[in-house]
Structure formats: structure tokens, C-alpha cells
Chains A and B, each alone.
Chain A
Amino acid sequence: GAVVSQHPSRVICKSGTSVKIECRSLDFQATTMFWYRQFPKQSLMLMATSNEGSKATYEQGVEKDKFLINHASLTLSTLTVTSAHPEDSSFYICSAPLGQGVYEQYFGPGTRLTVT
């Protein structure tokens, strides 16, 4: 069964509004989670590393004020897309390593965001 869940799986919002996406690790604790964005027919682009109890680390070119990340507990990380625009429409996926210092990741099922 799924070990990383995401909610919602699909969301449509209007331009200018904010959307929160939740990523939960099930039955295991994740001090680190990763947020990716996937454009159609393109690779997974790492947006940021979510660290429990500290600030997220953002990749170059990702606006931290636009994509707010909060890792509130060892099983929950949230990504908030603020003041969404149509160009933010994408497939957002989170992941968590299988263990401390492990390279393999469990991925969530993804969230399809459409901004109208």
C-alpha cells in the first residue's frame, strides 16, 4: 500500500488565490521530504527540501515566498502555492527517503493543480 499520501489529488483554483497541498508519511517518520514539480512530458524538477523543525531549502530559481513549505511534524509537510497564476498549473509530487541516509524515496501520488 501507499506509504506517502498527498491531499488533494486534484485541485482547481482561481488566479490570485492560495492552495495548500499536504504530504504525509504513513507508518514512518520523515525528517526530510522533497517537493517536485512535473511539467507535461518532462522530468521531475526538485523544488525544495522540506526539513522537520527548520526552514526548507529551495532550489535555484524557485521562489520561496511563492511556494511556502512547512514541515510541521515528522509525518507532515505542506506546500502552499500563494497567489496562484495559470503558469503555476502543474503536477506536484512529494517524496520521502525510505530511511535516514537512504537514497531511495517513496513518492506520493501527486497533486494536479489547475489555476484558472
Chain B
Amino acid sequence: DQQVKQNSPSLSVQEGRISILNCDYTNSMFDYFLWYKKYPAEGPTFLISISSIKDKNEDGRFTVFLNKSAKHLSLHIVPSQPGDSAVYFCAASIIGNAGKSTFGDGTTLTVKP
């Protein structure tokens, strides 16, 4: 049973437009959510996170939205840049299990110039 799901394996957007990456989870115990970015043959890099007590967190071009009732979160990138092309992983954690995260399958984002 996959507890964190990223239903879109890939997404392609034009440079300058908004990229929206989605993530759904099933475990209501999750209370901290993270997005990581990964280039080929490299380890993931932390991008942005959000606690379950918030519904939005913004950091520059990146914004994460959390809808607890729907068990859904999304990452918005605006404006998208070609350098944003990578695999984006959604991850979820439970308080008390700091550092231990459950990952989604990832979404490959391609930003076309």
C-alpha cells in the first residue's frame, strides 16, 4: 500500500509558465511534508517543506500548498525555468520520527525554453 502517491510521472511546461506538481497521501498520521529535487545520478536536494499546521509555505519561486482534508499537497513553481527540469519527490513524515520520510514515486518535470 503506497502511502504517498504522485500520480503524474511526468510534466512538461513552457519556460516562464507555472509548474504544478501534485502529491496525495493516505496516512492521516503524516504531519510534515517535504519536496525534494533530484538530478540524474545525484542524491535528492531538499527544496521546501510544510507543517500540517499550515496550509501554505512560500520560498522564492516555490510555494507548497497543503489541503489536509483532501490529504493533498502541491508544489507550485513560478516562473518555471529550464534549470528546474528534474525529478521532484514528495515526502511525508510523522512527528517523533524526525528524518524518517516516506517518498512518492517522483514526477519528472521538463521546462522547455
Q: Would you list which residues of chain A between 40 and 99 have a CB under 8 Å from chain B?
A: 41-46, 49, 93, 95-98
- Is B101 in contact with chain A by the CB < 8 A criterion? yes
Contact with A along B10-52 (1 / 0, CB 8 A): 0000000000000000000000101010000111111001000
Once the chains bind, are B103 and A44 in contact (CB under 8 Å)? Answer: yes
Interface of A, helix, strand, loop or mixed by DSSP: strand
Interface size range on A against B: 20 to 34
The verdict on A43 contacting B105 (CB below 8 Å), with A97-B98, A103-B49, A105-B99 known, is yes
Bound-state Cα–Cα, A107 to B46, Å: 8
Which residues of chain B have a CB within 8 Å of any CB of chain A?
4, 9, 32, 34, 36, 41-46, 49, 89, 93, 98-106
Which residues of chain A have a CB within 8 Å of any CB of chain B?
4, 6, 32, 34, 41-46, 49, 93, 95-98, 100-110, 112
